[in-house]
């Protein structure tokens, strides 16, 4: 227990100051270095602006330790950080630089290199190449492929499948990711996987796809039963569940889930996320447009305008939207849908698919994260 707490304190400090790990000799150990890699991957998924500094420190720490396996893994997280910043050319150059070294080292290093190369293919919207590299990465590990590694590969493969217009396969793979990823893995994998459940349903999904999505979310809810400290993931899950249930016509539980997400995100979430889920709730109420639902929508939009840290442009648009709902209530569903599709957050609107932009790769889904 004492060792675990010590590691947790070291990791917390590393998150705040990546260069500090190079000055404290307690960090110059393989176990700590591996934990730092997960921090780097998590930042690449959730806070791309911070990812490069941490990845650079991870590379230096691995070199300081001198273990070639750690060095290859560190290069991998550096590639991930470059992709997070949309620096595809730099990521590709780095992959080329250590390709022969990684592929000739061991099964784990070869597999990790191919996974990172698959990630680059996803960012380049090359689903076929991504799927092939994921398969090769699995084959490289063979019997040494554990559930967590399989989950991380499924995470990437799902995106490759949807880029290849295989919606069923994409949903299958995101379900595998949520099932197989170790709960100690970077939280960003879970947050993004839940968002991808929704992204895989845009543009022409059939009822069976929404049923499959609900089953994925139900299974993940069971997996989280009794797990503490996952408030952010549970909020994301409720948000996606609300959208899926709404599309299945189960409006009472859908509103309950969406309201739960709205309440949580208004208190502590990024302002854009709070706006998006608020509009989702408004869209649900607009299905039965009457005096009561009109007043509810007006109140929610006004409360949204008061969100601290909200971009001035969105604040102005919310004011215009509120006025439109007040004076032209019959157009509310169309106006709400158009506004919801005018900006990108991790979870796309599904209650009406008007104006939803189609992502070309993984990172475009995350635009507007803050």
In tens, the pLDDT along 265-317 reads: 999 999 999 999 999 999 999 988 899 999 999 999 999 998 889 999 999 99
What is the DSSP annotation of 140-194?
A: HHGGG--HHHHHHHHHHHHHHHHHTT-HHHHHHHHHHHHHHS-TTS-HHHHHHHH
The pLDDT value given to residue 159: 97
In tens, the pLDDT along 45-91 reads: 999 999 999 999 999 999 999 999 999 999 999 999 999 999 999 99
Task: Compute and round to an integer the Cα radius of gyration of the chain.
Answer: 22
Of the candidate ranges 109-118, 172-181, 280-289, the one whose mean pLDDT is the lowest: 280-289
Return the percent helix, strand and coil in the chain, to nearest 5: 75, 0, 25
Residue of 218, 125, 22 whose CA lies nearest to 210: 218
The pLDDT value given to residue 4: 63
Is 80 exceeded by the pLDDT of residue 354?
Answer: no
Calculate what percentage of the chain has a pLDDT beyond 90. 83
* pLDDT band at 364; cut points 50, 70, 90: very low
pTM of this structure? 0.93
CA atoms within 13 A on the CB side of 362: 32
Average pLDDT over every residue of 138-146: 96
* pLDDT band at 355; cut points 50, 70, 90: very low
Contact 41, 80 (CB under 8 A): yes
The pLDDT value given to residue 232: 96
Calculate what percentage of the chain has a pLDDT beyond 70. 93
Average pLDDT over every residue of 139-152: 97
Average pLDDT over every residue of 159-163: 97
The pLDDT value given to residue 368: 40
Q: How far apart are CA 90 and CA 176, in angstroms?
A: 31
The pLDDT value given to residue 165: 95
Residue of 219, 200, 220 whose CA lies nearest to 210: 200
Residue of 38, 30, 26 whose CA lies nearest to 15: 38
In tens, the pLDDT along 339-352 reads: 999 999 999 999 98
The pLDDT value given to residue 173: 98
* pLDDT band at 367; cut points 50, 70, 90: very low
Average pLDDT over every residue of 250-269: 95
Task: Please provide the average confidence, as pLDDT, over all residues in the chain.
Answer: 92
The pLDDT value given to residue 365: 44
The pLDDT value given to residue 288: 85
The pLDDT value given to residue 23: 87
In tens, the pLDDT along 5-58 reads: 677 788 888 888 888 888 888 888 999 999 999 999 999 999 999 999 999 999
The pLDDT value given to residue 100: 98
The pLDDT value given to residue 17: 86
Of the candidate ranges 9-18, 124-133, 270-279, 323-332, the one whose mean pLDDT is the lowest: 9-18
The pLDDT value given to residue 353: 61
* pLDDT band at 366; cut points 50, 70, 90: very low
The pLDDT value given to residue 26: 86
Q: How far apart are CA 16 and CA 243, in angstroms?
A: 35
Average pLDDT over every residue of 239-248: 97
């Amino acid at each position: 227990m004492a060792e675990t707490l010590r590691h947790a304190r070291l990791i917390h400090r590393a998150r705040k100051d990546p260069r500090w790990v190079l000055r404290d000799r307690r960090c110059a150990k393989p176990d700590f270095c591996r934990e730092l890699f997960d921090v780097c991957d998590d930042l690449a998924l959730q806070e791309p602006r911070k990812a490069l500094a941490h990845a650079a420190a991870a590379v230096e720490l691995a070199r300081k330790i001198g273990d070639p396996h750690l060095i290859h893994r560190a290069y991998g997280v550096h590639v991930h950080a470059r992709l997070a910043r949309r620096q595809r050319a730099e990521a590709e150059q780095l992959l080329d630089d250590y390709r022969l070294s990684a592929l000739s080292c061991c099964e784990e290093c070869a597999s990790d290199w191919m996974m990172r190369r698959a990630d680059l293919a996803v960012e380049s919207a090359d689903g076929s190449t991504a799927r092939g590299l994921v398969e090769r990465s699995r084959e490289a590990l063979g019997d040494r492929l554990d559930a967590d590694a399989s989950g991380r590969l499924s995470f990437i493969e799902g995106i490759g499948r949807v880029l290849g217009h295989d919606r069923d396969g994409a949903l299958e793979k995101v379900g595998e990711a949520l099932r197989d990823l170790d709960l100690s893995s970077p939280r960003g994998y879970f947050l993004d996987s839940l968002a991808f459940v929704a992204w895989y349903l845009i543009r022409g999904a059939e009822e069976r796809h929404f049923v499959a999505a609900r089953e994925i979310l139900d299974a993940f809810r069971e997996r989280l039963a009794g797990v503490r400290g996952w408030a952010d993931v549970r909020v994301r899950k409720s948000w996606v569940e609300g959208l899926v249930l709404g599309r299945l016509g189960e409006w009472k539980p859908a509103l309950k889930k969406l309201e739960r997400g709205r309440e949580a995100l208004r208190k502590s979430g990024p302002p854009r996320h709070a706006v998006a889920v608020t509009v989702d709730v408004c869209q649900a109420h607009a299905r039965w447009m009457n005096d009561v639902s009109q007043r509810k929508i007006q109140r929610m939009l006004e409360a949204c305008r008061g969100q601290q840290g909200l971009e001035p442009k969105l604040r102005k648009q919310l004011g215009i939207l509120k006025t439109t709902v007040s004076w032209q209530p019959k157009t509310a569903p169309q106006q709400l849908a158009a506004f919801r599709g005018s900006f990108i957050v991790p979870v796309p609107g599904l209650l009406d698919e008007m104006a939803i932009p189609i992502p070309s790769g993984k990172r475009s889904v995350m635009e507007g994260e803050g």
